[in-house]
Every structure is written in structure tokens, then in C-alpha cells.
């Protein structure tokens, strides 16, 4: 059961990672166009900063979190970890994943409450373009839920790593 959930989660992470890559590519195109228009025609894109900071950058970060953990590509201070015997390493991993799960549960809960409240009010940004802020708030719980689930799965089944190990 745990392995089936992990496989389904890995597929969802790939979808989120694809969206994050598309967001990153869009950021590159927008910045390129903005700089080109600014220096060639003295007419920058007025919406670029808001679009990038409100949606794209947040999406790149949160939509790639879980996949980064799944492949152990996150930053880790491992001076003591590498010196510890395998049994102690597994204990360190479980403690770390349990504490991370608590942290991500708080982020998910507060992000979800904020997204629901913002959606109920249909909040928009008071700028030239009234960007819907409520839409941006949903990125946080959508991106945090998979990493929370992955942390819980790794507490229950520490051998779960990348999809190659499934």
C-alpha cells in the first residue's frame, strides 16, 4: 500500500515538476522580452515583475520541493551523518522526516487557510493589472502537500527513495 501511494505521488511530482519547468521557461522568456524591449525601445513590460514574483517564482519553488526531496537533491549538512553507522543514519533520517513533516503540515495548514480566505474574498493585487492573489495562494498548499506526504511515507517506510527504488 505504501509503495503504491509512493508511486502515485511520484507521478504527481512529475506533473508538478513539469509545471515548474514551464514556469521557469516562461520566466526566462518574459525577462528576455522585458530587457530587450526596455533597452531597444525604452518600453518594458509593465506586468513582468508582478507575474514573475506572484506566480512563476513561487510555483517553481513549491512545485519542485517534493521531487527534490525524493531524489535527495536538497541541501544537507552531513558531517555527523556520514560518520554514523547505518542504524544511526536510519534513525537520523526518521527523526528528520518526522520533524520536516510537522513543519510542512504547519505550512500546508496555514497556506490552505490563507488560500481559502483569499479565494472567498476574490482578492486581487492593487496594481496596473489586478492580478488574482487568491490564485497565487493556492500554489503553497498544492506544492506543500506532496512533500508532507513524502516525509510521512519515509517515516513509515524509510527505504522509499526515488522511483528507481520502488
Q: What is the pLDDT of residues 118-163, one digit of tens each?
A: 999 999 988 888 999 999 999 999 999 999 999 999 999 877 765 5
| Contacting residues for 152 by C-beta, under 8 A, at least 6 apart | 97, 101
Distance CA 111, CA 148 (A): 13
Residue 126 Cα distances to 24, 55, 132, angstroms: 25, 15, 10
Half-sphere exposure of 54 (CA within 13 A, CB side): 18
> The C-alpha cell of 92 is what?
537520523
CB 115 within 8 A of CB 141: yes
Q: Which tens digits make up the pLDDT trace of 11-58? A: 999 999 999 999 999 999 999 999 999 999 999 998 999 999 999 999
Residue where the block lists cell 521557461:
25
- In eight-state DSSP terms, residue 73 is -
Is the full-model pTM beyond 0.75? yes
Amino acid at each position: 500500500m505504501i509503495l503504491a501511494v509512493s508511486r502515485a505521488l511520484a507521478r504527481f511530482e512529475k506533473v508538478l515538476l513539469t509545471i515548474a519547468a514551464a514556469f521557469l521557461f516562461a520566466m526566462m522568456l518574459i525577462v528576455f522580452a522585458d530587457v530587450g524591449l526596455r533597452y531597444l525601445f525604452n518600453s518594458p513590460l509593465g506586468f513582468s515583475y508582478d507575474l514573475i514574483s506572484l506566480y512563476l517564482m513561487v510555483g517553481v519553488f513549491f512545485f519542485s520541493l517534493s521531487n527534490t526531496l525524493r531524489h535527495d537533491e536538497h541541501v544537507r549538512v552531513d558531517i555527523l551523518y556520514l560518520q554514523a553507522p547505518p542504524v544511526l543514519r536510519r534513525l537520523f533520517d526518521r527523526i528528520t522526516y518526522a520533524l520536516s513533516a510537522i513543519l510542512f503540515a504547519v505550512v500546508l495548514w496555514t497556506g490552505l487557510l490563507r488560500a481559502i480566505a483569499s479565494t472567498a474574498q476574490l482578492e486581487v493585487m492593487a496594481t496596473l493589472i489586478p492580478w488574482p492573489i487568491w490564485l497565487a495562494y493556492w500554489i503553497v498548499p498544492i506544492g506543500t502537500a506532496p512533500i508532507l506526504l513524502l516525509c510521512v511515507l519515509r517515516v513509515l517506510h524509510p527505504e522509499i527513495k526515488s522511483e528507481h527504488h520502488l
